[in-house]
């Protein structure tokens, strides 16, 4: 029994480490925030330092969607579709006031926050957030992923303990 | 408010009594026109050698619910050969808001008419494709009507999405080499800059028909500006063309200042001119940089983006923000310029040319780039004017119209600069015009710096317009009251209307502002320079290859925030 769980833990740890350090972001940039997003990925701020190296424009190849910019009602279905196309596990970072809450556009054509249609893991405030702000956000996401995998791990272990005692 | 004389045009005598009425005391010649004579008048205005209004700058609707004739369609015309402006207003009733379409006179009307239909429900008879332009397919009502609730949303579901199926005129022909295929690009596609959607019908690699769909970033700027005070609109203007937001600030503030009849102090004007030129450089860098990326020349992107990062540093020192600066205030600037303003500017003047010349060396004679750009998406000057083009793209097609020269504002009449013009009207010339303009902008900045910073304040000394200094607001009763009044009620702009324009990085950026004296703008219509460019995109793509289309879009420099507002 002990041997078995020891093996699972290590693979999970390895998986967690890998997940955490090689996040492939999908930039869903629409507006002004996307311009600041470009600053973050280019040489000066260099997001690659934190493992967000490979920016992918295909949802099938990415695991974190960074929504940068205002999402309108017209764009909504597209955003949702792209989110659904991403393979699990997946995360969403909402960059900027608009993506978080509609920002200062309390208006007839603007979605009042993308959490109306997709689950959001990290909200980064600002209009636009500073590059430092976004970097803090993506570091928070790494923390969250770590926590999540820990919890998953614990649950798994509890599950296997349960089933173990049931069998006994 | 400036007034203009009404030209006594002989052609008006032929029209029935009362069908064309000049308005006295407007900021530019303005006629009220009955819709029955509109088509005839428009054609004559364009072709009569006495008028030659060849450029249709803007068309918008205005809603006056209290009037018998509730709607007004407003045309802003410009005559390039004569340098004159004219505004036509056509009143329409709510029961019958129908106008003849003027597409045949000015092709620029195409999208403008669709927008007016979308926003106000004004119908244009004879328009070939009067669909909504900015709002989505499930939208009900016309949002810029005064009785439309600004926050009333409609939800679009997947099944309602419009699926265009462009077909070339004449249908299937035997000339096709390959089987036809229709593909969808965007809206979330990197080459579409995140927000445009193109559906193209392909014969092999050649686009034979295409349709462009926009509105994915329609953020209701115009409605929002009607629900905020005059100062609160400034941050919204930042987010129009967010690559050169400072120029938007200037354009808007200048308009309101003219309505108020105030002049910003010399220091503010000086700094506005310098920062506008830096913003123009930044905008051109982004445009040329992304065009090159889209055609595969990634290195240049880094070279072009570095000056931008450095100009951000200057803007940040002036106002604390990099991108969305809001650095202007009505009557002047946000705050005192930083002490090292001039030193920073001079430093930039020294560093920027190196990057530009690196790109110049890498690209201007580069075989691959030339193959990708020369002769691609070419347009003649005449057609470009008819389609409402202005700015660098128009100058690349051989028409030397630049607001800074034709109608100088700020300090542009006191500096020496040239308006670069190229003749080809293709992707390559659009690129070269921008490179040449960067040089001119640098020279303008240099001349202004040599003149030295003017003495005096950074904003007008008028407590009805400018906030009192913070210390005074805390220590003096009177200053505190003014501060309170300005924050709570906003600036009180007298009733009136005005069209104010500047040369944006992308062409003539106009603000048509109407005030009813209520403390909030009654209507603000932006004349977005990239709107007519994007409206032409489909025409430019057709007949070229798919890869040419991508190169073309980059060179048009369409910024969604400004296009869709
Ligand atoms: S949060 Fe601000 S900067 Fe970002 S997209 Fe919205 S308006 Fe633009």
Quick check: B55 and B84 in contact, CB under 8 A? no
Closest-lying ligand 1 atom to the alpha carbon of residue A127 = 2
pLDDT at B1: 37
User: How many domains does chain B contain in total?
Assistant: 2
Q: Which residues contact B185 (CB under 8 A, 6 or more apart)?
A: B191, B192, B197, B198, B199, B200
* Whether pLDDT at B532 is above 50: yes
* pLDDT recorded at residue B5: 44
pLDDT for position A124: 92
One domain, residues B491 and B352? yes
Chain B: residue whose CA lies nearest to A79:
B188
Question: Tokens 């290195």 belong to which residue?
Answer: B299
Please give the share of chain A, as a percent, with pLDDT higher than 90.
12
- pLDDT of A123 reads 93
Quick one: average pLDDT of A87-111?
Answer: 89
* Residue B182: inside a domain: no
Residues B231 and B105 in one domain: no
Q: What is the mean pLDDT of chain B?
A: 86
Whether B102 and B242 map to the same domain: the answer is no
Q: Which of A56 and B369 is assigned the larger pLDDT?
A: B369
Find chain B residues with C-beta within 8 A of A30's C-beta.
194-195, 216-217, 560
pLDDT in tens, B322-376: 888 888 888 888 888 888 888 989 999 998 888 888 888 888 888 888 888 888 8
Average pLDDT for residues A76-100, to the nearest whole number? 89
Q: Which domain holds residue B14?
A: 10-125
Task: Indicate whether B64 pLDDT > 80.
Answer: yes
Measured over the CA atoms of residue A105, residue B308, residue B302 and residue B420, the dihedral's sign is positive
Beta bridge mates, B329? B332
Q: Which residue of A has its CA nearest to B143?
A: A108
The arithmetic mean of pLDDT across residues B114-137, rounded, is 88
* pLDDT band (50, 70, 90) for residue B252: very high
Domains of chain A: 11-161 (3.40.50.12280)
Q: Mark which of B125, B153, B177 sits at the end of a domain.
A: B125
Ligand 1 test: best mutation among A39, A40, A69, A106, most atoms within 8 Å of CB? Answer: A69
- The more confident residue out of B191 and A146 is A146
**Domain-located, residue B137:** no
Question: Quick check: A151 pLDDT over 80?
Answer: no
DSSP assignments along chain A, one per residue: -HHHHHHHHHHHHHHHHHHHH---EEEEE-SHHHHHHHHHHSTTT-GGGGT-----S-GGG-SEEEEES--BTTTHHHHHHHHHHSPSS-EEEEEHHHHHH-TT--STTB-S-GGGTS--SEEE-SSSPPHHHHHHHHHHHHHHHHHHHHHHHHHHHHHHHHHHHHH-
In Å, what is the CA distance from A164 to each residue of A156, A160, B166? 12, 6, 63
- Beta-carbon contacts of B49 under 8 Å, excluding residues fewer than 6 positions away, are none
- The 3-class SS string of B432-481 reads HHHHHHHHHHHHHHHHHHHHCCCCCCCECCCCCCCCCCHHHHHHCHHHHH
Residues B264 and B376 in one domain: yes
A residues 41-100 closer than 8 Å to B (CB): 42-44, 57, 69-70, 72-79, 81-82
C-alpha span between B283 and B393 (Å, rounded):
14
Kindly tell me if the per-residue pLDDT of A10 is higher than 80.
no
Q: What is the pLDDT of residue B172?
A: 60
Q: Residue B511's pLDDT band (boundaries 50, 70, 90)?
A: very high
A109–B219: do the CB atoms touch at under 8 Å? yes
pLDDT of residue B4: 43
Q: Which of B265, B393, B385 is nearest to B337 (CA)?
A: B265
Which has the minimum average pLDDT: A1-10, A81-90, B393-402, B508-517? A1-10
Rounded Cα gap, residues B146 and B445, in angstroms: 43
The residue count for chain A: 168
Which pLDDT belongs to residue B251?
Answer: 92
How confident is the model at residue B444, as a pLDDT?
92
Could B224 and A70 be called an inter-chain contact, meaning their C-beta atoms sit closer than 8 Å?
A: no
A7 pLDDT above the threshold of 70:
no
Do A108 and B220 lie within an 8 Å CB cutoff?
A: yes
Q: Is residue B378 part of a domain?
A: yes
Are the C-beta atoms of residues B34 and B18 closer than 8 Å to each other?
A: yes
Instruction: Evaluate if residue B10 carries a pLDDT over 90.
Output: no
Average pLDDT rounded to a whole number, residues B52-79: 90
- The CA distance from A43 to the nearest CA of chain B, in Å, is 8
Residue B3 pLDDT: 38
| Tokens found for residue B212 | 């462009």
Q: Tell me, yes or no, whether B245 and B99 share the same domain.
A: no
pLDDT of residue B171: 61
Q: Residue B466 and residue B485: Cα distance in Å, rounded?
A: 11
Q: Which of B135, B158, B223 sits opposite A77 (nearest CB)?
A: B158
pLDDT above 70: percentage of residues in chain B: 96
Closest chain A CA to residue B192: A30
| pLDDT(B466) > 60 | yes
Contacts B153 to A, Cβ<8 Å: 73, 108-110
Residue B471 belongs to some domain of the structure: yes
Instruction: Give the pLDDT band of residue A1 (cuts 50, 70, 90).
Output: very low
Tell me whether residues A77 and B243 touch, CB distance under 8 A: no
Q: Among the three residues B77, B100, B125, which one is the final residue of a domain in this structure?
A: B125
| A47-64: average pLDDT | 81
* Residue, of B387 and B296, whose pLDDT is higher: B387
- pLDDT value at position A23? 83
Q: What is the CATH number of the domain that holds B462?
A: 1.10.645.10
Task: Give the Å distance between the CA of B240 and the centre of ligand 1.
Answer: 11
Residue contact B219–A110, C-beta within 8 A: yes
Q: Do A30 and B217 touch (CB under 8 A)?
A: yes
* Token reading at A87: 């393979």
More confident residue, A72 or B49: A72
SS3 label, residue B105: coil
Residue B373, helix vs strand vs coil: helix
Residue B544, pLDDT above cutoff 70: yes
pLDDT of residue B525: 92
Q: How many CA atoms lie within 13 A of B547 on its CB side?
A: 10
In this predicted structure, what is the pLDDT of residue B178?
A: 72
Give the E-state strand segments of B197-324 in sequence order: 197-203, 206-213
Same domain, B433 and B284: yes
Nearest alpha carbon, ligand 1 atom 8: A32
Residue A6: its pLDDT value, please? 55
Cβ-contact B261, B459 below 8 angstroms = no
For residue A95, the CA-to-ligand 1 centroid distance in Å is 9
Q: What is the mean pLDDT of residues A102-117?
A: 88
Closest alpha carbon within chain B to A107: B151
- Please give the model's pTM, rounded to 2 decimal places: 0.88
Could you give the strand order of the β-sheet that contains B180-185, starting from the edge strand earlier in sequence?
A: B180-185, B197-203, B206-213
Residues of B in contact with A37 (CB under 8 A): none
Domain end among B94, B125, B156:
B125
Give residue A97 CA to ligand 1 midpoint distance, Å. Answer: 6
**B chain contacts of residue A44, beta-carbon cutoff 8 Å:** 309
Ligand 1 neighbours, Cβ below 6 Å, are A 31-33, 69-70, 96-98, 103, 127-128; B 239, 324
Q: Is a pLDDT exceeding 60 seen at residue A2? A: no
- Residue B174, classed as helix, strand or coil, is coil
Is it the case that residue B216 has pLDDT exceeding 70?
yes
- At residue B368, the pLDDT reads 87
On whether residue B323 sits in a domain, the answer given is: yes
CATH of the domain at B15: 3.30.460.80
Mutate to test the interface with A, among B145, B162, B194 (most CBs of A within 10 A): B194
Q: Does B104 fall in a domain?
A: yes
Asked if the ipTM is above 0.90, the reply is no
In a domain, B527, yes or no: yes
Query: Does one domain contain both B282 and B431?
Result: yes
**Cβ-based contacts of A76 with chain B (< 8 Å):** 155-156
What percentage of chain A exceeds 70 in pLDDT? 89
Domain assignment present for B3 = no
């Amino acid at each position: 029994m002990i041997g078995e769980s020891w093996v699972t833990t290590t693979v999970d740890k390895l998986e967690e480490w890998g997940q955490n350090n090689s996040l492939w972001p999908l930039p869903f940039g629409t507006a002004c925030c996307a311009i600041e997003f470009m600053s973050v990925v280019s040489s000066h701020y260099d997001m690659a330092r934190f493992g967000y190296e490979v920016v992918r424009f295909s949802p099938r190849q990415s695991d974190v969607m960074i929504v940068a910019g205002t999402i309108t009602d017209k764009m909504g279905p597209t955003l949702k579709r792209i989110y659904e196309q991403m393979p699990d596990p997946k995360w969403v970072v909402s960059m900027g006031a608009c993506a978080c809450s509609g920002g200062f556009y309390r208006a007839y054509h603007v979605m009042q926050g993308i959490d109306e249609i997709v689950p959001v893991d990290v909200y980064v405030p600002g209009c636009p957030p500073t590059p430092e702000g976004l970097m803090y956000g993506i570091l928070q996401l790494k923390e969250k992923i770590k926590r999540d995998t820990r919890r998953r791990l614990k649950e798994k272990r509890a599950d296997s303990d349960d089933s173990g005692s049931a069998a006994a | 408010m400036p007034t203009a004389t009404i030209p006594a045009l002989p052609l008006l005598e032929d029209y029935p009594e009362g069908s064309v009425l000049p308005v006295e005391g407007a900021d530019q010649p303005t006629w009220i026109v009955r819709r029955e004579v509109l088509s005839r008048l428009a054609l004559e205005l364009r072709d009569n050698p006495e008028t030659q209004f060849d450029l249709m700058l803007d068309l918008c609707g205005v809603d006056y619910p209290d009037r018998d004739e509730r709607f007004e369609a407003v045309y802003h015309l410009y005559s390039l050969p004569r340098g004159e402006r004219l505004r036509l207003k056509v009143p329409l009733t709510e029961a019958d808001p129908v106008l003849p379409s003027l597409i045949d006179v000015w092709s620029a009307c195409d999208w403008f008419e669709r927008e007016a239909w979308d926003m106000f429900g004004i119908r244009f008879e004879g328009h070939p494709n009067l669909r909504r332009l900015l709002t989505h397919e499930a939208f009900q009502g016309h949002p810029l009507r005064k009785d439309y609730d600004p926050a009333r949303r409609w939800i679009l579901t997947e099944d309602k999405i419009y699926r265009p199926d462009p077909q070339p005129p004449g249908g299937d022909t035997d000339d096709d080499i390959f089987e036809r295929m229709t593909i969808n690009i965007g809206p979330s596609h990197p080459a579409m800059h995140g927000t445009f959607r193109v559906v193209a019908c392909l014969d092999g690699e050649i686009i034979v028909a295409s349709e462009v769909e926009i509105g994915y970033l329609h953020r209701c700027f115009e409605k929002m500006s009607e629900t905020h005070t005059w100062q609160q609109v400034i941050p919204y203007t930042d987010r129009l063309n967010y690559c050169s937001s400072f120029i938007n600030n200037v354009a808007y503030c200048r308009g309101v200042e003219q309505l108020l009849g105030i002049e910003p102090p010399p220091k503010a004007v000086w700094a506005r001119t310098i920062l506008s030129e830096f913003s123009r450089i930044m905008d051109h860098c982004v445009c040329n940089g992304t065009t090159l990326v889209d055609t595969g020349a990634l290195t240049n992107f880094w070279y072009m983006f570095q000056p931008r990062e450095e100009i951000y540093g200057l803007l940040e020192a002036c106002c604390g923000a990099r991108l969305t600066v809001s650095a202007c205030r009505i009557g002047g600037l946000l705050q005192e310029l930083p002490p090292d303003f001039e030193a920073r500017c001079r430093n930039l003047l020294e560093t920027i040319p190196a990057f530009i010349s690196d790109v110049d060396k890498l690209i201007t004679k580069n075989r691959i780039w030339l193959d990708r750009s020369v002769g691609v998406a070419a347009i003649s000057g005449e057609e470009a004017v008819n389609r409402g083009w202005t700015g660098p793209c128009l100058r690349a097609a051989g028409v030397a119209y630049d607001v800074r020269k034709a109608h100088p504002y700020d300090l542009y009449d006191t500096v020496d600069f040239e308006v670069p013009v190229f003749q080809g009207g293709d992707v390559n010339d659009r690129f070269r015009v921008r490179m040449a303009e960067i040089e001119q902008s640098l020279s303008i900045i240099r001349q202004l710096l040599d003149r030295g910073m003017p003495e005096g304040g950074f904003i007008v000394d008028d407590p009805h317009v400018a906030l009192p200094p913070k210390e005074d607001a805390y220590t003096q009763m009177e200053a505190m009251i003014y501060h309170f009044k300005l924050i709570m009620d906003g600036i009180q702009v007298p009733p009136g209307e005005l069209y104010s324009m500047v040369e944006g990085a992308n062409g003539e950026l106009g603000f048509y502002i109407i005030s009813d004296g209520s403390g909030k703008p009654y209507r603000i219509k932006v004349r977005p320079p990239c709107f007519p460019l994007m409206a032409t995109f489909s025409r430019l793509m057709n007949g070229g290859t798919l890869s040419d289309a991508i190169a073309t879009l980059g060179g048009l420099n369409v910024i969604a925030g400004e296009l869709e507002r």
